[in-house]
Chains A and B, each alone.
Chain A
Amino acid sequence: MSVPISYYLVLSAVLFGLGVVAFVFKRNIITIFMSIELMLNAVNLAFVSFARAQNQLDGLVFVFFVIVVAAAEAAVGLAIVIMLAQNRQSLNVERVNQLKF
């Protein structure tokens, strides 16, 4: 007897919700970054669950795309974080408002 799909989906939704809450309330840019990763992976979990339940490959293919995008984003994003940290001596996003009118 396998685990029903709803269990996976509820876990995915909880993870996604945690990511969202962290994204909105945290100020540290690395924490925000991690919350984005958390949301992406919550979505990945949903994709995998659907693929398994429907017995189709489409969802798995999507997961690979998301992992690739997440890796690229991490590379670029962490580079930006390093530069910020060097220039501002701070990781607080509220202080990165120089381009705001």
Chain B
Amino acid sequence: MFILDHLWIILALPLAGAAINGLLGKRWPQSAVNSVAVGSVTLAFLAVAELVREFSQLTPDQIPFVGNYFTWMVAGPFKVDFALQVDQLTVVMLLTVSFVGMLIHIYSTGYMAHEGGYYRFFSYLNLFMFFMLTLVMAANLIVMFVGWEGVGLCSYLLIGFWFLKKSAADAGKKAFIVTRIGDFGFTVGVLLVFATFQSVDFGTIFKSVSQNAPAEAILTTICILLFTGAIGKSAQLPLYVWLPDAMEGPTPVSALIHAATMVTAGVYMVARMNPLFSRAPVAMLVVAIVGAVTAFYSATIGLVQTDIKKVLAYSTVSQLGYMFLACGVGAYAAGIFHLMTHAFFKGLLFLAAGSVIHAMGGEQDMMKMGGLRSKIPVTYWTMFIATLAIAGIPGFAGFFSKDAILEAAKSGPNANLVLWLLGVVGAGLTSFYMFRLVFLTFFGKPRYDEHKVHVHESPKNMTAPLIILAFLSIFGGWFAAPKLVGGIDYFEKFLAPVFSAYAPQVAEPAVIIAEPAASPAMELVHALTGWPVIVGVLGLLVAWWFYIKNPDAPKRLAQSVRGLYTLLLNKYYVDEIYAALIVRPLLWISTNVLWHVVDEGAIDGVVNGSARIARESGGELRKLQSGNERSYATWIIIGAVGFTCLLLVLWGKR
């Protein structure tokens, strides 16, 4: 039980890596930086693996296992411990984060090999791992908030990694500021949680809410405030605008932070707070609506983007929407399951895209690629597998998780057919734009200058993570597969204690443990011929027809629906609308009121004015001190006469 008794080790390893590389790595060769960065994360992953082994030996009443290290702050009834906890949900998150994180560290040693600031990059990446692991292991809302803000900081640092490029620096600021809007809601939510439950500790909150639930209005407010934080962090409508811009960062960062782990923190938080959300149906509906609308909405934007990373970014926003849809309809396990499979296949897609960009010498426009299939076969095959997975083609990871979500949206306890329909259409669009990406990149004739661009397969430390993630994209979904053949969904069953322990008693439990199917074979056939699969295949065929069979068709279609096409190409003008409604007025007020009036007028006026008064009065007074003793004598005499007169007047009155 070594790791269970010393949970902090898992956090300390990447933190130490970040500190060592950050402080000393500047003068070290790349190999030394590599071994510290990759070594610390690998050790952290091994620690997590050992933790899982030890965790499996715990009896159910020992879970969640809490390690309380010290009291962090006390202020009256407000007491926060630095406490870490492990339960089934934490284990899933820990495994996903540390494993994908490790692979992406390895990949980065190849991808970043020719970049400046090598040590800085790995220091940030390790620091990110530290904060992300803190986030998922936190035993109370405050420690979770530390991780929550910490990953935001690392996201900012890494998006702006090439800070000399203005667009990258701006994107970093945008990500930080936009998520801050959501975090404001989250902070208020945490305060409201404390005001309601007199505690920020998960165990205490959940016990208190299940035994003596406060008014539903309060719970709804808390949940919506917390969800505001999730909207910012997980890039949902209307705060998703930072994520596509975050693609300015290096591609491994996009893979790790802006696809696989950090952006899923919002989903994790909602799943973690499920005892509260399950008791606030209105908030649940809000979560589901935001999720489903985002899933559909950003999929439509993804249809027309030509930057390979932008497509993946909108796809990430869309997939996160599915996770929230799952949480919103009460299928937390399905949401977390999709989170995990998404980490595999979206991480893989980004890494493969990075490999393509690497091969093309930095080109990101898909219109300038094409025909890369035979030149970079490993990248092609792994990316193709990930595309099959995200499109929901049966047998691949994404199929199982997306099917579980849409199934819950259709027939779960909080089913909602409109949201289901949005999800299904979104799934079709997903399949279309992903195959469009693959066909544009790897098929057809090369649309780049073959004499100028020397296309080459990436080195082994980049392709190895691709291959591992490709295997996970195929087999990662099979944890949940037995349900389709009438068995018990291992994944749901594993997570069940987290989601049913404090579930509301009156309503149905949030997690349905597979009702016995009429016929396993029928169930399987039903799933394989369900709408998600049909639209997935349809998307594939349409993409094939458009981009391989008739390469001219897309242009003609764009011509015929020019208005819609322009609208999508400009991402519904949301950035422009935000600029006009928020940024421009704010700038105007800042410039014309705060700057020219308050700062220059009032603040500078007071400071400069007092300086001027001192200077001018000094200038006048210095004339008195002329150095002529007889003039001093005159002053003394005037003073003496003055005082004498004063005394005479005063005494004369007496």
| A contact set with B: CB distance below 8 Å | 20, 23-24, 93-94, 97, 100-101
Evaluate contact between B627 and A20: CB separation under 8 angstroms.
no
Which B-chain residue is minimally distant from A100 (CB atoms)?
B627
Evaluate contact between B630 and A23: CB separation under 8 angstroms.
yes
Assess whether B59 is interfacial by the CB under 8 Å rule: no
Evaluate contact between A97 and B627: CB separation under 8 angstroms.
yes
Evaluate contact between A20 and B630: CB separation under 8 angstroms.
no
A20, B636: Cα distance in complex, Å: 11
> What residues of chain A lie closer than 8 Å to B637, measured between beta carbons?
20, 24
> What residues of chain B lie closer than 8 Å to A100, measured between beta carbons?
627
Assess whether B633 is interfacial by the CB under 8 Å rule: yes
Chain B residue total in the interface (Cβ 8 A): 7
Which A-chain residue is minimally distant from B634 (CB atoms)?
A24
Evaluate contact between A101 and B633: CB separation under 8 angstroms.
no
A94, B637: Cα distance in complex, Å: 20
A101, B630: Cα distance in complex, Å: 16
Some 14 contacts from A to B, beta carbons below 8 A apart, are: A20-B633, A20-B637, A23-B630, A23-B633, A24-B630, A24-B633, A24-B634, A24-B637, A93-B629, A93-B630, A94-B628, A97-B627, A100-B627, A101-B627
A101, B628: Cα distance in complex, Å: 11
A-contacting residues, B600-654, CB 8 Å: 627-630, 633-634, 637
User: When A and B form their complex, which 3 residue pairs have the shortest distance between CB atoms, in order from nearest?
Assistant: A100-B627, A24-B630, A24-B634
> What residues of chain B lie closer than 8 Å to A23, measured between beta carbons?
630, 633
Q: Taking the nearest CB of chain B, how far is it from the CB of A35, in angstroms?
A: 10
> What residues of chain A lie closer than 8 Å to B630, measured between beta carbons?
23-24, 93
> What residues of chain A lie closer than 8 Å to B634, measured between beta carbons?
24
Which A-chain residue is minimally distant from B629 (CB atoms)?
A93
A24, B628: Cα distance in complex, Å: 11
Which B-chain residue is minimally distant from A26 (CB atoms)?
B630
Interface of B is mostly: helix
> What residues of chain B lie closer than 8 Å to A93, measured between beta carbons?
629-630
Q: A20-B637, A93-B629 are in contact. List 8 more A-B contacts (CB 8 A).
A: A20-B633, A23-B630, A24-B630, A24-B633, A24-B634, A24-B637, A93-B630, A100-B627
Q: Taking the nearest CB of chain A, how far is it from the CB of B452, in angstroms?
A: 77
Q: Taking the nearest CB of chain A, how far is it from the CB of B457, in angstroms?
A: 83
> What residues of chain B lie closer than 8 Å to A24, measured between beta carbons?
630, 633-634, 637
> What residues of chain A lie closer than 8 Å to B633, measured between beta carbons?
20, 23-24
> What residues of chain A lie closer than 8 Å to B627, measured between beta carbons?
97, 100-101
A24, B638: Cα distance in complex, Å: 12
> What residues of chain B lie closer than 8 Å to A94, measured between beta carbons?
628
> What residues of chain A lie closer than 8 Å to B628, measured between beta carbons?
94
A94, B627: Cα distance in complex, Å: 10
Per-residue interface assignment for chain B, residues 315 to 352, with 1 indicating a CB less than 8 Å from any chain A CB and 0 otherwise: 00000000000000000000000000000000000000
A97, B629: Cα distance in complex, Å: 10
> What residues of chain A lie closer than 8 Å to B629, measured between beta carbons?
93
Max chain B C-beta neighbours (<10 A), residue from A23, A94, A97, A101: A23
Q: Taking the nearest CB of chain A, how far is it from the CB of B640, in angstroms?
A: 9
Q: Taking the nearest CB of chain B, how far is it from the CB of A19, in angstroms?
A: 11
A100, B626: Cα distance in complex, Å: 9
Which A-chain residue is minimally distant from B625 (CB atoms)?
A101
A-contacting residues, B58-108, CB 8 Å: none
Q: Taking the nearest CB of chain B, how far is it from the CB of A25, in angstroms?
A: 8
A97, B626: Cα distance in complex, Å: 11
Which A-chain residue is minimally distant from B631 (CB atoms)?
A24
A33, B358: Cα distance in complex, Å: 99
A54, B630: Cα distance in complex, Å: 36
A28, B637: Cα distance in complex, Å: 20
Q: Taking the nearest CB of chain A, how far is it from the CB of B438, in angstroms?
A: 87
A-contacting residues, B416-443, CB 8 Å: none
A-contacting residues, B579-601, CB 8 Å: none
Q: Taking the nearest CB of chain B, how far is it from the CB of A101, in angstroms?
A: 7
A101, B622: Cα distance in complex, Å: 12
A101, B627: Cα distance in complex, Å: 8
A36, B68: Cα distance in complex, Å: 89
A-contacting residues, B454-501, CB 8 Å: none
A75, B44: Cα distance in complex, Å: 96
Which B-chain residue is minimally distant from A25 (CB atoms)?
B630
A94, B628: Cα distance in complex, Å: 8
Q: Taking the nearest CB of chain B, how far is it from the CB of A37, in angstroms?
A: 15
Which A-chain residue is minimally distant from B640 (CB atoms)?
A20
A23, B627: Cα distance in complex, Å: 16
Q: Taking the nearest CB of chain A, how far is it from the CB of B626, in angstroms?
A: 8
A24, B634: Cα distance in complex, Å: 7
Which B-chain residue is minimally distant from A21 (CB atoms)?
B637
A20, B633: Cα distance in complex, Å: 9
Which B-chain residue is minimally distant from A32 (CB atoms)?
B630
Which A-chain residue is minimally distant from B626 (CB atoms)?
A100
A101, B633: Cα distance in complex, Å: 19
Q: Taking the nearest CB of chain A, how far is it from the CB of B93, in angstroms?
A: 77
Q: Taking the nearest CB of chain A, how far is it from the CB of B558, in angstroms?
A: 85
A20, B77: Cα distance in complex, Å: 79
Q: Taking the nearest CB of chain B, how far is it from the CB of A34, in angstroms?
A: 15
A20, B627: Cα distance in complex, Å: 19
Q: Taking the nearest CB of chain A, how far is it from the CB of B256, in angstroms?
A: 71
A101, B625: Cα distance in complex, Å: 11
> What residues of chain B lie closer than 8 Å to A20, measured between beta carbons?
633, 637
Q: Taking the nearest CB of chain B, how far is it from the CB of A40, in angstroms?
A: 15
Q: Taking the nearest CB of chain B, how far is it from the CB of A66, in angstroms?
A: 18
Q: Taking the nearest CB of chain B, how far is it from the CB of A64, in angstroms?
A: 24
A20, B630: Cα distance in complex, Å: 10
Q: Taking the nearest CB of chain B, how far is it from the CB of A96, in angstroms?
A: 10
A23, B630: Cα distance in complex, Å: 7
